[in-house]
Amino acid sequence: MLTFTKHLQLSAIVVTGLALCAHGAQAPQRIDIKQLSKTVEDVVVPLPNEIFGALNKLGAVNWKEHVRTDKGASFTERPRIALLLGTVIADGFVAVQAEDAPAVKEIGQRVLTLAKGIGVGNSITPHSKAIIEAADKRNWESVRQELDRTQNSVQQAMNEVHDEKLSQLVSLGGWLRGTEVLTSVVTKHFSADGAELLHQPDLLSYFQTRLQAMPEFNLPIIHEIQEALVDVKPLIDVGNARISPASVKKISEITTRLGNGIVTRD
Amino acid sequence: MTPFVKTLFCQVILLVMLGSFQPAAFASVDDAQSFALQAAEPYVKQGFQVREDYWGGDLGSGEKKAVRQQLFKGNEYWFWLGTEVERAKISVHIYDSDGKLAEEPDGWEKGHFAAAHVIPKATGSYFIIVSVEESPEERTHWALVYGFR
């Protein structure tokens, strides 16, 4: 018994020691953010389901009413296809939340068509197939992962051929659709915590900066988005104050208008 | 030695030299990313969805890099940092937009892996500070991935 107790004590010491070794030096409790300003990397734009996941935790959401599968118009302008591709991938995440297998499969096919239209179809074919197969098996985690991989592969393929601006438009399309759905849900069932999910001023600034650097994409929808972001900024950049129901409604109207603009011909 | 044998000999020597330098010459951020993903692996079983997107670069010993990231209250996040330089010591920490340490106490550093955990108290921008504390290399590749649930 004594030996066992000693052994247990020794094990405890070893485990504690290992844990202490694994944990590194104490991090400072506070840092000067202004000092970091020169070394800050760009944001990784969150996936729509990152926001939807947080929204889900606030209460049941009827995701089915937000599922959208209409094919919309076909475009030849690459910036328009890129924006649409981003929104369609976001629609895929909505369909996963709703566990709507036929919608997911249709979206998987649509993503492939759009990717081909923009010249990156080859890198998307396996993902599109995987999305459809996983939807058939109702394996929602796999569908989510494949949607993330799809967006990543599209953007990597674009970056490889120096189409970074189109890649940014894919992110923007997804963010706009995600915000449209978020504000629609929160407008219907307002909560301060739900509205707080809109507190994304740095992300909005990031998109504004990127759009300003795209003067060659002289399209009405791009100008419309630029103007709309100017209107949205003061509604979400509220510091420590709360985002009001009126602001949420206004952002919902703006993003719905932009969403319609992205899927329909001028 | 005939010219043919000479050329062949030189080519073989060159290939052997290239082979011996390969790890240092061709190591990349992609290698660092595979280590960061290795650190993330056990957390997938706990329901964390690991993003495909990642940040990466290279840093000298003692250098830091800040990454700005939008986090949402209600979600829980882990950030995993990795490097292919096995004898390097790296760290990752999370601060809120006021510069206040925002991470949970269960973050860890194990040689060329490090991780930090945050349950955001508010939705907004956070700063993820990555650092190469020590390294035998002049420049050390790093990659940062994150997951949420």
Encode pLDDT of B24-59 as tens digits. 445 788 899 999 999 999 999 999 999 998 999 999
| Inside any domain, residue B42 | yes
| Inside any domain, residue B5 | no
Regarding an ipTM greater than 0.90, the answer is no
Q: List Cα–Cα distances, B44 to A137, A138, B147, in angstroms.
A: 20, 19, 8
Q: Which chain A residues have a beta carbon less than 8 Å from that of B65?
A: 39, 41
Split into its structural domains, chain B has a count of 1
Q: A30: nearest CA in chain B?
A: B100
**Mutation test of the interface with chain A: which of B55, B70, B71, choosing the one with the most A Cβ atoms within 10 A?**
B70
Report yes or no: A113 and A84 within 8 Å, Cβ to Cβ.
no
Complete DSSP assignment for chain A: -HHHHHHHHHHHHHHHHHHHHHS-SPPPSB--HHHHGGGEEPPPPPPHHHHHHHHHTTS---GGGG----------SHHHHHHHHHHHHHHHHHHHHTT-HHHHHHHHHHHHHHHHHTT-HHHHHHHHHHHHHHHHTT-HHHHHHHHHHHHHHHHHHHHHTT-HHHHHHHHHHHHHHHHHHHHHHHHHS--HHHHHTT--HHHHHHHHHHHHT-TT---HHHHHHHHHHHHHHHHH--TTSPPPHHHHHHHHHHHHHHHHHHHS--
| Inside any domain, residue B17 | no
pLDDT of residue A73: 80
Closest to A152 (Cβ–Cβ): which among B52, B73, B114? B52
Which of residues 37 through 66 in chain B touch A, CB cutoff 8 A? Answer: 49, 51-55, 57, 64-66
| Inside any domain, residue B35 | yes
Q: Which chain B residues have a beta carbon less than 8 Å from that of A32?
A: 99
| Inside any domain, residue B85 | yes
Encode pLDDT of A162-177 as tens digits. 899 999 999 999 999 9
- By residue count, chain B amounts to 149
Q: How confident is the model at residue B149 (pLDDT cuts 50, 70, 90)?
A: very high
- pTM across the whole model: 0.86
| Inside any domain, residue B109 | yes
pLDDT of residue B19: 43
Query: Could you list the pLDDT tens digit for every one of the 266 residues in chain A?
Result: 434 445 445 444 443 443 444 555 688 999 988 777 556 777 889 999 999 999 999 998 999 999 998 777 889 999 999 999 999 999 999 999 999 999 999 999 999 999 999 999 998 999 999 999 999 999 999 999 999 999 999 989 998 888 999 999 999 999 999 999 999 999 999 999 999 999 999 999 999 999 999 999 999 999 999 999 999 999 999 998 999 999 999 999 999 999 999 999 77
Q: How confident is the model at residue B10 (pLDDT cuts 50, 70, 90)?
A: low
CA-wise closest residue to B96 among B111, B109, B77, B83: B77
Domain CATH code at residue B58: 2.60.120.380
pLDDT of residue B7: 60
Encode pLDDT of B88-118 as tens digits. 999 999 999 999 999 999 999 998 999 999 9
Instruction: State whether B70 and A200 contact (CB < 8 Å).
Output: yes
- Kindly report the nearest CA distance between residue B23 and chain A, in angstroms: 24
| Inside any domain, residue B118 | yes
Residue B20 reports pLDDT greater than 50: no
Q: Does B21 reach chain A within 8 Å, measured CB to CB? A: no
Instruction: State whether A31 and B54 contact (CB < 8 Å).
Output: no
| Inside any domain, residue B12 | no
What domain range is B53 assigned to? 27-148
